Structure 1
Amino acid sequence: MLINNPKLTVVGAGPGDIELFTLKGVKALQSANVVLYDALVNPELLDYAQDAELIFVGKRKGCYAYQQEQINDLIISRANSHGHVVRLKGGDPFIFGRGAEEMEIAAAAGLEVAMVPGISSSLAVPAYQNIPLTKRGSAESFWVITGTTKDHKLSNDVTLASQSSATVVILMGMSKLGEIVNLFTASGKREVPVAIIQNGTTAEERIGIGTIETIQSVVEALKLTNPSIIVIGEVVRHRAQLLNLQLEYNAV
């Protein structure tokens, strides 16, 4: 039996800390009949969807539970058979999350579509480590770039970003770290500070701090892996400056 008003709501799950999930996202999960959720979603969020069918469709390290075409088919078929499908995606679904693509496919199939933004890891993860993406005197703007394009290559925008004075945030870029370092080195940025934050905003969060020249050695020593965010720019120094101010105050 087909449902009269099939609907897809794409919901941003935020960066990992369950307390950063939005109230609007909670309400969407509570009204869901089916939830299709990704690998980087905090599983505690699924407790809000007690009356829904839960289907894991995520991928980790190249292992796919479902191919994208199968996910698209699931969205349409479950909406038509069950009603309200929530597509729960890590971070913000409109920032390298394929949220826009899935909404277009659903709309073309006659589904009602809605979007609930999430707090992007590109903003929240550095913030949790006291790294501002902009700061007077250090950075007037910032780039957020995918490290790996659909062709599995480093985005050409990284080359442009390496030539600017802006803060550069690279998602999904750990496998391309050597290429990134080479680009920034070629732009004379050898001494620019870098932070790499793994599992940001979660209990498993880890961080490595270095410069363009040293960051690969830092990653190797700390054994940092995905999921990680790369932050490049003078704003990384704020973290240590803040800590020093606190230590100086406590020493008085």
Structure 2
Amino acid sequence: MTGGVDLHLIGIGTGNPEHLTLAAVRAMNAADLILLPRKGEAKSDLLDLRRSICAQVLTGITRVVEFDLPERSAIPPYLDAVGDWHSAIAREWAWQMDNHLPQGGVLALLVWGDPSLYDSTLRIAERLQQEGRTLRIHVVPGITSLQALTAAHGIALNTLAAPVTITTGRRLREQGWPKGADTLAVMLDAACVFATLPMEGLQIWWGAYLAMPQQCLIAGELSEVSEQIVDRRAALRHENGWIMDIYLLRRAHD
């Protein structure tokens, strides 16, 4: 590749085209190339949504190319598996750039939610920079799943003058409830760790497929709705072949 690449990481929200910002639409149309990842048949809906977004907003000659996203190994340790996975994705991006933008240009990737919140696209791009590629990174922020969750339930993220801890299901399972925290936003919890917590005095606001046609919301005392969420989540995942969900937990105040 003889020229550098301007890489635009565009936050596209949670799948609803109406969540695209004007900046996102402008960046998509300014790109020479948009890469869309294929994640297997089970997650084909995610690719279809990206295709639909491109069809709705692209008005010029931007090329759209699909590629097969490498799979992450399920063999622990987790961080090593993720590191190897990110390296494989970086190699795939490099191959696509060399083949489709040999003289350089503007490349766009459409990132669910926002590239800065529990997404590794920025870290993968930085790997390519560290390897000596001329890659100028630009971030177009998007609506996050956390924003979509609080909006769907009509609640404030935090209580008055209080902080919020954002964590993952894995860390909640391994380390327990963070000390001093009253409100937790929990992402990436395939194991439904909330169902293993001491439930007295906890409220939960859960949402799946936020802002999509199949959006599902459940809220209430954790002790009363925990089993309902676990059952509903399993049924939705079976029905759709994939699921994206997030929840907020809050301790009740006396």
Relative contact order: is structure 1 or structure 2 higher (C-alpha 8 Å, sep ≥ 6)?
A: 2
Distance in 2 of aligned mates of 1:172 and 1:110 = 33
1:104 pairs, out of 126, 134, 137, with 126
2:239 is the counterpart of 1:228: no
1:199 counterpart = 2:223:
no
Q: Which residue matches 1:246?
A: none
Distance 1:91 1:212, change over 3 A: same
Q: Distance in 2 between matches of 1:11 and 1:120?
A: 12
User: Which of 88, 92, 97 is equivalent to 1:79?
Assistant: 97
Task: Indicate the SS of the match to 1:159.
Answer: coil
1:46 is aligned to 2:54: yes
**Runs of 5+ consecutive residues of structure 1 not aligned to the other structure:** 236-252
In structure 2, how many angstroms separate the alpha carbons of the residues matched to 1:54 and 1:204? 27
State how far apart, in whole Å, the 2-side matches of 1:195 and 1:58 are: 32
Q: CA separation of 1:34/1:181 partners in 2, compared to 1, >3 Å: closer, same or farther?
A: same
1:180 and 2:180 correspond: no
8 A Cα contact 1:3 1:79, kept in partner? no
Number of equivalences: 217
- Look up the SS of the partner of 2:155 in the other structure: coil
2:187 corresponds to: 171
What whole-Å deviation, never above 9, does each CA across 1:139-182 have from its counterpart, x for those lacking one?
A: 72212212247xxx8463x5216x522x2111111x322x3333
Q: Residue type matched to 1:233 in 2?
A: R
Say whether the 8 Å CA contact 1:34–1:78 is kept in structure 2.
Answer: no
Question: Given the superposition, is the C-alpha separation of residues 220 and 103 from structure 1 closer, same or farther in structure 2, using an over 3 Å criterion?
Answer: closer
Aligned pairs for 1:1-252 (under 5 A) are 2-37=1-36, 40=46, 42-43=49-50, 44-47=52-55, 48-49=57-58, 51-57=62-68, 67-81=85-99, 82=101, 83-108=105-130, 109-136=133-160, 140-148=162-170, 154=173, 156=175, 158-160=176-178, 164-165=181-182, 167-173=183-189, 175-177=190-192, 179-182=193-196, 184-185=197-198, 189-222=199-232, 223-225=235-237, 226-233=243-250
List alignment gaps of at least 5 residues for structure 2.
38-42, 75-84, 238-242
Counterpart of 1:244 in structure 2 is none
Cα contact 2:165–2:181 (8 A) shared by 1 = no
Residues 164, 181 of structure 2: 8 Å contact kept: no
Residue type of the partner of 1:85? L
* Per-residue Cα deviation, 1:202-241 (whole angstroms, up to 9, x for no partner): 1110112232223332124534543111111269xxxxxx
The TM-score with structure 1 as length reference comes to 0.73
- Partner of 1:160, secondary structure, is coil
Contact 1:145/1:155, CA 8 A, preserved across alignment: no
CA contact 1:210–1:218 (8 Å) conserved in 2: no
Shift of the alpha carbon at 1:3?
A: 4.5
Query: What is the deviation of 1:58?
Result: 5.7
Which AA in structure 1 matches 2:94? I
TM-score by length of 2: 0.72
Percent identity at matched positions? Answer: 17
Matched residues in 2 for 1:17 and 1:62: separation? 30
